[in-house]
Structure 1
Amino acid sequence: MTTLTEPRPSLSSFWHDLPRDGKLLLSVVVFEFLGTGLVLPFHVVYLHEVRGFALSDVGLLLGLPPLVGFLVVGPGGAAIDRLGARRILLASLGLLIAGDVLLAFSSTLLLAGTALVMSGVAFGVSWPASQSFIAAVVPTHLRQRYFGVNFTLLNLGIGIGGLVGGVVVDVDHLATFQAIYLADALSYLPPVFLLLVPLAGVAGRPVHDHDEHPAATYLGVLRRPAVASLMLLGFLASFVGYSQLNVGMPAYARAVGEVSTRALGLAFAANTAVIVVLQLVVLRRIEGLRRTRVIGVMGLIWAASWMLLGGSGLVSGTVGATILVAACASVFALGETLMQPTIPALVNDLAPDHLRGRYNALSSAAFQLAAIIAPPVSGVLIGHHLGSVWIGSLVVGSVLVGVYAVARLEPQLTPEVNGVRVPAPAR
Structure 2
Amino acid sequence: MTALVFVVDDDADHRAAASDLIEAAGHEVCAFPDAAAALAALDRSDPGVIVTDLRMPGMDGMGFIAALAARGGDHPVVVITGHGDVPQAVQAIRAGAEDFLEKPYSADHLLLVIARALRARETRDELRRLRSRLPEEEIVGDSRAMAGLRAQVAALAGLDVNVLVTGETGTGKELVARALHAGGPRGAKGFVALNCAAVPESLFEIEMFGAAAGAFPGAMVDKPGKLELADGGTLLLDEIDSMPQPIQAKMLRVLEDRTITRLGEHRPRPLDIRVVSTSKVELKAMAFDGRFRADLYYRLAGAEIATAPLREMSGDIALLFAHFASEAARRYGRALPEIPISLRARLVRQSWPGNARELRAAAERFVLGLDPGGEGAPATSEGSGASLPERMAAFEAREIHAALVKCRGNTERAATLLGLPRRTLNDKIKRLGLTT
Q: Which has the higher strand share?
A: 2
Q: Which protein shows a greater Rg?
A: 2
Instruction: Answer 1 or 2: higher relative contact order, Cα 8 Å, separation at least 6.
Output: 1
TM-score in terms of structure 1 length: 0.24
Q: Which has the higher helix share?
A: 1
TM-score in terms of structure 2 length: 0.24
